[in-house]
C-alpha cells in the first residue's frame, strides 16, 4: 500500500516532464503535416495555390482533424506527412468554417499496401482546463515539421468573432477559444494543443500577428462535437434567426433589468426571420423557448448563439423580449444559416471569376435579393475586363437570361464556348445598373 | 525655380508679339478683372482659412469663384469673413457670399459698394468669336499667395485640343492661368475661364522602391479653359438666394452611359444614351413612370450627343435637367427593352441639401446633429416613408460621444430608448441631456452601414 501510494504520488510528477510521458509520445506519433494545393478564383482566373498546415489523427480509421483555413472544399490535393515521415494522400470529409475545423480521411488502403502504421491521439476535457496549466503545441510552424513548443493556458474562455477569419468566411460566433502563450506560428494551424500527458485539449488555429505569445485554439469539446457531426453528415447545419447580440454589461440600469438577465439585441439583419417577426435593435432578449438568457459579458454570447444555432431548421422558437417597459412575446421560424461567401467559379475564356451572392451577403450589402454573381476579378486584357466589368460588380443578367444562380451563367458560358458571339451583360454596382458587352 | 522659368517665358513671348497694345500693357489692363479671395470655414471647433481666385463679372462688383472653391455640404452660415484683394495689394475689401448656382457650379460674391471702383468686369472686353484654332497662343493671369501680396504673373500656352466635357473646353499644352481666372488671346480678347486642372500621371522613383505611379494635380495653375461662349451666357445666373434655389430635380441617381458596344448590340449604333437606375420612390422620374434599365436616347427631341469619354454624357444629361426650372416638363425619348417610347417628366424641386439642413452643435456632449434628409435616406436605402432620426454631422475628438464610439455619418434612431421622429424632438432631448449636469449617462441607438448598435455615453 505504501509503495502504491508512493508510486501514485511519484508517477504524475515524473509524467510532468513531457518527453517521458507515454501518452505524450503517443500523441507525437499522431501529429501530421498537411500540404494542400487548392484552387483560387481571384483576379478573373482559376489559379492553384499551396499551403502548409498541421493536423492530428483522432481515430484508428485514419480521421485527421485540422483547421478549416488549412483545408477547404477548394482543396484539390491533400498530402499528409505522418510521424514516420512517410507521405500519404487524404480526402476532405467535411469542413466547418464557423468553428474553423476540417476533417480529413487518410488513404488507409495505400497505407496498408505499403505496410505503414500510425497512431491516434486521445481527446482531453477542455472544460477542466485552468489558467496557468502547462500545455504544448505540436505542429509545422513555417514548414518546420514536428515542432513542439511549450506554454500555459493564458485564458480558457476567450471571446472573439471574425467575420472574414477563415479565407473570408465567418468564424467564432458559436464558440469561445483557448488562449495560450505556447509559441504558435503560421503552419501550426490545425495542430493539437495538448496537456502534459498528451491529451488533445485544443486545435491551434490563430495568433495575433505582431503580438508575442498570444495564440488561440479551438477547445477540444467543440472539436469533438464538430468532428462527430462531420463524420456523420459531412457538413454542419445550423439555424439562423438574424439576431446579432450585444453585451448588456453597464446597460442593465438603462434597461431596468436585474443583473445577469437578458441579452441585448444589437442588430437585426434586414430581411431575416427576426426582422420579419418585428424584432428591433435595442430590444432585450429575456427568454428563449422559456429558458432564461444571460448575455451580460461577451464570453456568454457564443453559448447563446450556439443554442439558437442548434435548433432544427424551420423550427418555431418562442422569444420573450423587453422593449421599453413592455415585455413582448415573439415566435420566429428559424432558417438555415448561410455564409456570406457563396460558391466561386472562373470563366477562363472571359477572364472572369465570380462568387454567388448569398442571402447573408445580400442582407449585409442591402441588396434587394440574393440573386446574381459578384465579380471577384476580371483579368486585364480578357473580354470581361475589356467590356468594363470590374471587381465588385454584380452580374444579374446575360442576354435575356436572368443570372440568379451560378449554373445559369455556366449554361450561357457553355453556349458561348460552342458558338462565341457578343454577350450583353447587365451588372449592378451600388444598385447602379450598367450594361456591358463581352466580345470574343 | 518653376516661377523664375515662367518669368523667362514671359520675356520670350513679349518679344514675339509687338502689335498695337503690347502684351504687358494688355496684361496690366486685364488685371482689373481678377481678384484673390480669402475667407474661412468656421466649423464646430476649428476654422479653416481658404484662398481662391475669382473673376469680376459685372459693374455691381459681382465675382465668380470656381465650383471647387467651397466644398459641397458646407452650410453658407459657416462661410465667414470674405475678403477680396486686388493683385499686388494687401488692402482687403469686404464681400458678401451670394450662393452657388446649381447649373454652372460657380459661387457668387459681391464686393462692398465703396470698394468697387477700379474693378472692370470681364464682359468689358470683346470675346473671341468663332472656334478656337488648334495651336493658338493664349495667355492668362496667375496670382501668388498672400505672402507675396497676391502678385500677378503671366502665363502662356498653346491650344492642344478643344473637347466637349460636356461644355466646350480647351486643353492647353501647359498651364495658362490660376483656376478661376480669365484667359485671353494675343489681342486681348476674352477666351475663357481657367478651370480646376486635370490630374497628370507621373512615376515616382525612390531609392528603395521601383517606380510608383502617382497622380499629380496642380492646384495653383491650370491648363483647362472653359471657353467664353460657355461662360458669357451664364453670367446672369446670380443666385436669387444663398441656397442657390430653385434647383430642378429629376430623381434618378444611378445614371450610367450606354456603352458603344451595347448600343451596337441593341442596334442603336452611333447613338448615345444614358441608362437609368436607382429611381427614388415618389421622385419626378418615378411619377413619370420611368423604370430601372430604361435608356434615355433624346431630350426634348434632341438626341443625346456622343461625347468622349463615355461618362461625359451623364454630365450632359444632368446639365439639361438643371437648365430647366422646377415644374417644367422634360420630354424624354427612351428605349425600354426593344421599344422606343416618349415620356414626359415634370421636374420637381430638389430635396433639401446637406448645406441647407438644420443642424446644432452640442459642445458638452461633443456632437453636431443634423436633420435627416431625403438624400440620407437614399444613402441608407430607407424608403421615403421611413425618414426619421437625425444624422451625426460632427464628433468632437475626446468628447463623451467620441469615447462611446459615435462617428460622423452615424444615423441616430433612438435617444434614451425613445424613437426619434423629428429633428426638433432629437434636439430637445439632447439639449435637455446637455443641460442636466447631474446626468451621468445616456444611450443612443445608431445605424452605421446597415448595422445598428446601442451606444452608452458616459457624461460624468
**Residue B100 in contact with residue B73, Cβ under 8 Å?**
no
**Residue B79 in contact with residue B38, Cβ under 8 Å?**
no
User: Which residues have C-beta within 8 Å of that of residue B250, sequence separation ≥ 6?
Assistant: B283, B284, B285, B321, B330, B345, B347
Interface test with A, best of B258, B264, B265, B412 (most A CBs within 10 A): B265
Residue B370 lies in a domain: yes
Partners of A366 on chain B (C-beta within 8 Å) are 381, 450
Of the candidates A375, A368, A284, the residue with the CA atom closest to the CA atom of residue A327: A284
| CA pair distance B361, A379, nearest whole angstrom | 49
Higher pLDDT, A207 or B180: B180
pLDDT value, residue B8: 42
Q: Write out pLDDT tens, residues B118-165.
A: 999 999 999 998 889 999 999 999 999 999 999 999 999 999 999 999
Partners of B451 on chain A (C-beta within 8 Å) are 244, 267
> Using the 8-state DSSP alphabet, how is residue B152 labeled?
E
**Residue B255 in contact with residue B196, Cβ under 8 Å?**
no
**How far is it between the farthest Cα atoms of chain A?**
91
The overall average pLDDT reported for chain A is: 91
Query: Does pLDDT of A411 surpass 80?
Result: yes
pLDDT value, residue B460: 77
pLDDT value, residue B9: 44
pLDDT value, residue A115: 92
Residue B7 lies in a domain: no
Cell of A136: 504544448
| CA pair distance A372, A349, nearest whole angstrom | 20
Residue B35 lies in a domain: no
The DSSP string of B373-408 is -HHHHHHTT--GGG--SEEEEEE-TTSHHHHTT--T
Omega of the bond leading into A149 within 30 degrees of 0 (cis): no
Bridge partners of A75?
A: A38
The chain A residues in contact with chain B (CB within 8 A) are 244, 246, 250-251, 254, 264, 266-268, 270, 281-282, 324, 364-366, 387-388, 422, 424, 426, 428, 430-437, 439
How many domains would you assign to chain B?
3
**Residue A85 in contact with residue A160, Cβ under 8 Å?**
no
Partners of B445 on chain A (C-beta within 8 Å) are 281-282
Bridge partners of A319?
A: A288, A330
Give the three-class secondary structure for A300. Answer: helix
Pairing of strands B302-303, B295-299: antiparallel
pLDDT value, residue B402: 95
Residue B403 lies in a domain: yes
User: Residue A269's closest chain B neighbor by CA?
Assistant: B451
Handedness of CA B311, B313, B316, B317 (dihedral sign): negative
Contact B256 A428 (CB under 8 A): no
| CA pair distance A296, A262, nearest whole angstrom | 7
- Give CA torsion, residues B80, B83, B84, B88, to 10 deg: -140
User: Which residues have C-beta within 8 Å of that of residue B271, sequence separation ≥ 6?
Assistant: B258, B263, B297, B303, B304, B306
pLDDT value, residue A3: 38
Q: Which CATH number fits domain A2-114: 3.40.190.10, 2.40.10.10, 3.40.50.300, 3.30.56.10?
A: 2.40.10.10
Bridge partners of B274?
A: B257, B296
Domain housing B392? 357-458
Lookup result for grid cell 483560387: A40
User: Which residues have C-beta within 8 Å of that of residue A177, sequence separation ≥ 6?
Assistant: A158, A159, A160, A205, A216, A217, A218, A219
Over pLDDT 90: what percentage of chain A?
78
- The packing angle between helices B23-30 and B2-16, to 10°, is 120
Give the three-class secondary structure for A249. Answer: coil
B340 and B268, same structural domain?
yes
Question: What is the length of chain B?
Answer: 460
**Residue A218 in contact with residue A175, Cβ under 8 Å?**
yes
B439 and B365, same structural domain?
yes
B169 and B149, same structural domain?
yes
Contact A433 B254 (CB under 8 A): yes
C-alpha distance from A362 to closest chain B C-alpha (Å): 11
B321 and B422, same structural domain?
no
CATH topology of A2-114 equal to that of A344-438? no
pLDDT value, residue A226: 96
| CA pair distance A73, A68, nearest whole angstrom | 9
Over pLDDT 70: what percentage of chain A?
95
Partners of B265 on chain A (C-beta within 8 Å) are 422, 424, 437
Contact B452 A266 (CB under 8 A): yes
Of the candidates B65, B122, B119, the residue with the CA atom closest to the CA atom of residue B97: B65
Residue B30 has a CB neighbour count (10 Å cut-off) of 23
Q: Write out pLDDT tens, residues A27-82.
A: 999 999 999 999 999 889 999 999 999 999 999 999 999 999 999 999 999 999 99
Q: Averaging pLDDT over each range in A6-10, A256-260, B27-31, B43-47, which range is the top one?
A: B27-31
Cell of A356: 454567388
Question: What is the length of chain A?
Answer: 440
Query: Does pLDDT of A2 surpass 80?
Result: no
C-alpha distance from B256 to closest chain A C-alpha (Å): 6
Last residue of a domain, one of B298, B327, B349: B349
pLDDT value, residue A285: 95
Cell of B348: 420637381
Query: Does pLDDT of B5 surpass 60?
Result: no
C-alpha distance from A56 to closest chain B C-alpha (Å): 39
Contact B254 A424 (CB under 8 A): no
| CA pair distance A90, B432, nearest whole angstrom | 67
Residue B259 lies in a domain: yes
Q: What is the mean pLDDT of residues A352-361?
A: 94
Q: Write out pLDDT tens, residues A130-152.
A: 999 999 999 999 999 899 999 99
**How many angstroms separate the first and last alpha carbons of chain A?**
88
**Residue B129 in contact with residue B227, Cβ under 8 Å?**
no
Residue B38 lies in a domain: no
Lookup result for grid cell 413592455: A326
Partners of A364 on chain B (C-beta within 8 Å) are 450
Lookup result for grid cell 481662391: B52
pLDDT value, residue B417: 85
Residue B337 has a CB neighbour count (10 Å cut-off) of 11
Q: Write out pLDDT tens, residues A184-208.
A: 999 999 999 999 999 999 999 998 8
User: Residue A362's closest chain B neighbor by CA?
Assistant: B450
pLDDT value, residue B384: 60
Residue B59 has a CB neighbour count (10 Å cut-off) of 12
Query: Does pLDDT of B405 surpass 50?
Result: yes
Residue B264 lies in a domain: yes
User: Residue A281's closest chain B neighbor by CA?
Assistant: B452
Of the candidates B348, B336, B232, the residue with the CA atom closest to the CA atom of residue B285: B348
**Residue A97 in contact with residue A166, Cβ under 8 Å?**
yes
The overall average pLDDT reported for chain B is: 91
Q: Which of A251, A366, A433 is closest, CB to CB, to B277?
A: A433
| CA pair distance B88, B107, nearest whole angstrom | 23
Cell of A41: 478564383
Q: Identify the CATH number of the domain defined by range A239-336.
A: 2.30.42.10
C-alpha distance from A433 to closest chain B C-alpha (Å): 6
Query: Does pLDDT of A12 surpass 50?
Result: no
Residue B43 lies in a domain: no
Contact A266 B258 (CB under 8 A): no
Of the candidates B325, B254, B327, the residue with the CA atom closest to the CA atom of residue B290: B254
Q: What is the mean pLDDT of residues A415-421?
A: 94
Partners of A422 on chain B (C-beta within 8 Å) are 261, 265
Q: Does B328 touch chain A (CB under 8 A)?
A: no
Give the three-class secondary structure for B248. Answer: strand
**Residue A180 in contact with residue A223, Cβ under 8 Å?**
no
pLDDT value, residue B383: 67
Partners of B416 on chain A (C-beta within 8 Å) are 254
Last residue of a domain, one of B282, B315, B349: B349
Query: Does pLDDT of A393 surpass 70?
Result: yes
Contact A422 B261 (CB under 8 A): yes
User: Residue A271's closest chain B neighbor by CA?
Assistant: B450
Query: Does pLDDT of A379 surpass 90?
Result: yes
pLDDT value, residue B14: 46
Cell of B196: 480646376
ipTM of the complex: 0.77
C-alpha distance from A301 to closest chain B C-alpha (Å): 16
Q: Which of B413, B414, B454 is closest, CB to CB, to A264?
A: B454
Q: Write out pLDDT tens, residues A284-340.
A: 999 999 999 999 899 999 999 999 999 999 999 999 999 988 999 999 999 999 999
pLDDT value, residue B388: 87
pLDDT value, residue A20: 60
Query: Does pLDDT of A343 surpass 70?
Result: yes
Query: Does pLDDT of B373 surpass 70?
Result: yes
Contact A366 B450 (CB under 8 A): yes
Cell of A174: 458559436
**How many angstroms separate the first and last alpha carbons of chain B?**
57
Lookup result for grid cell 455619418: B409
* Res. A209 pLDDT band, cuts 50 70 90: confident
pLDDT value, residue A432: 86
Q: Identify the CATH number of the domain defined by range A344-438.
A: 2.30.42.10
Residue B49 has a CB neighbour count (10 Å cut-off) of 10
Q: What is the mean pLDDT of residues B343-360?
A: 95
Establish, for the pair of chains A and B, how many residue pairs have beta carbons separated by less than 8 Å.
82
Last residue of a domain, one of B314, B349, B384: B349
User: Which residues have C-beta within 8 Å of that of residue B127, sequence separation ≥ 6?
Assistant: B189, B190, B191, B228, B229, B232
Query: Does pLDDT of A439 surpass 50?
Result: yes
* Res. B210 pLDDT band, cuts 50 70 90: confident
pLDDT value, residue A21: 81
pLDDT value, residue B13: 46
Lookup result for grid cell 464570453: A299
User: Which residues have C-beta within 8 Å of that of residue B411, sequence separation ≥ 6?
Assistant: B372, B376, B380, B389, B390, B391, B392, B446, B447, B448
Of the candidates B281, B231, B258, the residue with the CA atom closest to the CA atom of residue B128: B231
SS (H, E, C) A361-401: HHHHCCCCCCCCEEEEEECCCCHHHHHCCCCCCEEEEECCE
Over pLDDT 70: what percentage of chain B?
95
| CA pair distance B181, A297, nearest whole angstrom | 62
Segments making up each domain of chain A, as ranges: 2-114, 126-220, 239-336, 344-438
Q: Which residues of A are catalytic?
A: 69, 100, 189
Q: Which CATH number fits domain A126-220: 3.30.530.20, 2.60.40.180, 1.10.565.10, 2.40.10.10?
A: 2.40.10.10
Query: Does pLDDT of A227 surpass 60?
Result: yes
| CA pair distance A340, B193, nearest whole angstrom | 51
Give Cα A342 to chain centroid, integer Å: 14
Higher pLDDT, A167 or A337: A337
Q: Does B378 touch chain A (CB under 8 A)?
A: no
Give the three-class secondary structure for B414. Answer: strand
Residue A291 has a CB neighbour count (10 Å cut-off) of 7
A137: exposed, middle or buried (Cβ count in 10 Å: 0-12, 13-18, 19+): buried
Dihedrals phi, psi of A285, to nearest 5 degrees: -80, 120
Q: Which of residues 245-304 of B touch A (CB under 8 A)?
A: 253-256, 258-259, 261-262, 264-266, 275-278, 292-293
Q: What is the mean pLDDT of residues A393-417?
A: 95
User: Which residues have C-beta within 8 Å of that of residue B97, sequence separation ≥ 6?
Assistant: B39, B76, B79, B82, B107, B108, B109, B242
| CA pair distance B326, B331, nearest whole angstrom | 14
Helices (H), B241-381: 260-265, 284-287, 312-322, 374-379
Partners of A396 on chain B (C-beta within 8 Å) are none
| CA pair distance B258, B235, nearest whole angstrom | 33
- Please report, for the domain that includes residue B136, its CATH number: 2.40.10.10
Q: Write out pLDDT tens, residues B407-453.
A: 999 999 999 988 999 999 999 999 999 999 999 889 999 988 777 88
Amino acid at each position: 500500500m505504501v509503495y502504491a501510494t508512493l508510486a501514485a504520488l511519484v508517477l504524475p510528477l515524473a509524467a510532468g516532464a513531457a518527453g517521458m510521458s507515454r501518452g505524450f509520445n503517443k500523441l507525437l506519433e499522431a501529429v501530421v503535416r498537411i500540404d494542400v494545393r487548392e484552387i483560387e478564383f481571384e483576379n478573373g482566373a482559376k489559379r492553384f495555390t499551396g499551403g502548409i498546415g498541421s493536423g492530428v489523427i483522432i481515430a484508428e480509421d485514419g480521421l485527421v482533424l485540422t483547421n478549416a483555413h488549412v483545408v477547404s472544399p477548394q482543396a484539390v490535393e491533400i498530402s499528409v506527412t505522418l510521424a514516420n515521415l512517410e507521405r500519404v494522400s487524404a480526402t476532405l470529409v467535411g469542413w466547418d468554417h464557423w468553428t474553423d475545423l476540417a476533417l480529413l480521411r487518410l488513404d488507409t488502403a495505400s497505407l496498408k499496401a505499403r505496410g505503414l502504421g500510425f497512431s491516434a491521439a486521445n481527446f482531453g476535457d477542455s472544460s477542466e482546463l485552468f489558467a496557468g496549466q502547462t500545455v504544448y503545441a505540436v505542429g509545422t510552424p513555417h514548414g518546420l515539421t514536428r515542432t513542439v513548443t511549450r506554454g500555459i493556458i493564458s485564458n480558457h474562455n476567450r471571446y472573439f468573432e471574425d467575420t472574414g477569419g477563415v479565407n473570408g468566411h465567418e468564424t467564432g460566433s458559436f464558440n469561445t477559444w483557448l488562449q495560450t502563450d505556447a509559441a504558435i506560428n503560421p503552419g501550426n494551424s490545425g495542430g493539437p494543443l495538448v496537456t502534459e500527458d498528451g491529451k488533445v485539449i485544443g486545435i491551434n488555429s490563430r495568433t495575433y500577428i505582431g503580438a508575442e505569445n498570444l495564440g488561440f485554439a479551438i477547445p477540444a469539446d467543440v472539436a469533438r462535437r464538430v468532428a462527430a457531426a462531420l463524420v456523420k453528415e459531412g457538413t454542419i447545419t445550423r439555424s439562423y434567426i438574424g439576431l446579432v447580440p450585444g453585451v448588456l454589461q453597464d446597460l442593465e440600469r438603462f434597461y431596468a433589468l436585474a443583473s445577469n438577465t437578458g441579452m441585448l439585441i444589437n442588430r437585426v439583419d434586414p430581411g431575416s426571420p427576426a426582422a420579419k417577426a418585428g424584432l428591433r435593435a435595442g430590444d432585450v432578449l429575456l427568454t428563449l423557448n422559456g429558458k432564461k438568457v444571460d448575455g451580460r459579458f461577451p464570453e456568454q454570447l457564443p453559448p447563446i448563439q450556439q443554442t439558437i444555432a442548434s435548433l432544427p431548421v424551420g423550427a418555431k422558437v418562442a422569444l420573450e423580449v423587453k422593449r421599453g417597459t413592455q415585455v413582448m412575446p415573439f415566435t420566429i421560424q428559424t432558417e438555415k444559416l448561410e455564409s456570406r461567401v457563396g460558391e466561386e467559379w472562373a470563366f477562363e475564356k472571359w477572364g472572369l471569376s465570380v462568387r454567388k451572392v448569398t442571402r447573408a451577403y445580400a442582407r449585409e450589402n442591402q441588396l434587394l435579393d440574393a440573386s446574381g454573381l459578384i465579380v471577384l476579378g476580371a483579368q486585364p486584357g480578357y473580354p470581361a475586363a475589356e467590356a468594363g466589368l470590374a471587381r465588385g460588380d454584380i452580374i444579374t443578367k446575360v442576354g435575356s437570361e436572368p443570372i440568379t444562380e451560378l449554373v445559369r451563367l455556366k449554361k450561357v458560358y457553355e453556349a458561348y464556348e460552342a458558338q462565341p458571339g457578343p454577350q450583353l451583360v447587365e451588372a449592378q454596382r451600388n444598385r447602379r445598373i450598367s450594361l456591358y458587352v463581352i466580345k470574343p | 525655380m518653376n516661377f523664375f522659368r515662367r518669368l523667362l517665358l514671359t520675356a520670350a513671348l513679349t518679344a514675339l508679339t509687338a502689335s498695337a497694345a503690347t502684351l504687358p500693357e494688355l496684361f496690366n489692363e486685364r488685371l482689373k478683372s481678377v481678384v484673390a479671395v480669402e475667407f474661412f470655414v468656421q466649423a464646430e471647433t476649428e476654422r479653416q482659412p481658404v484662398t481662391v481666385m475669382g473673376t469680376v463679372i459685372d459693374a455691381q462688383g459681382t465675382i465668380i469663384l470656381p465650383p471647387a472653391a467651397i466644398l459641397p455640404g458646407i452650410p453658407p452660415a459657416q462661410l465667414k469673413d470674405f475678403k477680396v484683394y486686388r493683385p499686388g495689394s494687401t488692402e482687403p475689401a469686404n464681400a458678401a457670399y451670394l450662393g452657388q448656382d446649381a447649373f454652372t457650379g460657380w459661387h457668387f460674391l459681391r464686393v462692398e459698394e465703396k470698394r468697387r471702383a477700379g474693378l472692370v468686369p470681364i464682359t468689358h472686353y470683346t470675346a473671341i468669336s468663332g472656334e478656337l484654332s488648334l495651336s493658338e497662343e493664349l495667355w492668362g493671369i496667375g496670382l501668388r499667395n498672400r505672402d507675396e501680396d497676391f502678385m500677378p504673373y503671366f502665363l502662356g500656352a498653346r491650344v492642344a485640343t478643344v473637347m466637349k466635357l460636356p461644355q466646350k473646353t480647351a486643353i492647353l499644352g501647359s498651364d495658362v492661368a490660376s483656376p478661376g481666372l480669365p484667359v485671353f488671346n494675343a489681342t486681348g480678347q476674352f477666351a475663357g475661364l481657367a478651370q480646376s486642372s486635370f490630374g497628370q500621371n507621373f512615376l515616382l522613383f525612390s531609392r528603395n522602391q521601383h517606380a510608383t505611379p502617382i497622380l499629380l494635380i496642380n492646384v495653383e495653375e491650370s491648363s483647362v479653359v472653359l471657353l467664353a461662349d460657355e461662360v458669357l451666357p451664364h453670367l446672369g445666373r446670380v443666385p436669387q438666394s444663398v441656397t442657390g434655389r430653385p434647383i430642378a430635380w429629376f430623381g434618378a441617381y444611378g445614371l450610367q452611359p450606354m456603352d458603344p458596344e451595347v448600343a451596337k448590340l441593341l442596334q442603336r449604333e452611333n447613338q448615345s444614351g444614358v441608362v437609368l437606375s436607382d429611381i427614388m420612390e415618389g421622385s419626378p422620374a418615378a411619377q413619370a413612370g420611368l423604370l430601372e434599365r430604361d435608356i434615355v436616347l433624346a431630350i426634348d427631341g434632341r438626341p443625346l450627343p456622343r461625347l468622349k469619354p463615355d461618362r461625359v454624357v451623364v454630365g450632359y444629361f444632368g446639365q439639361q435637367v438643371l437648365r430647366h426650372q422646377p415644374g417644367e416638363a422634360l420630354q424624354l425619348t427612351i428605349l425600354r427593352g426593344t421599344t422606343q417610347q416618349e415620356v414626359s417628366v415634370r421636374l420637381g424641386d430638389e430635396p433639401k441639401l446637406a448645406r441647407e439642413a438644420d443642424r446644432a452643435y452640442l459642445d458638452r456632449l461633443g456632437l453636431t446633429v443634423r436633420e435627416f434628409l431625403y438624400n440620407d435616406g437614399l444613402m441608407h436605402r430607407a424608403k421615403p416613408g421611413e425618414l426619421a432620426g437625425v444624422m451625426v454631422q460632427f464628433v468632437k475628438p475626446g468628447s463623451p460621444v467620441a469615447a462611446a464610439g459615435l462617428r460622423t455619418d452615424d444615423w441616430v434612431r433612438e435617444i434614451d430608448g425613445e424613437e426619434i421622429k423629428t429633428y426638433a424632438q432629437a434636439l430637445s432631448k439632447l439639449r435637455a441631456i446637455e443641460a442636466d449636469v447631474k446626468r451621468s449617462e445616456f444611450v443612443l441607438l445608431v445605424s452605421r452601414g446597415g448595422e445598428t448598435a446601442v451606444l452608452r455615453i458616459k457624461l460624468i
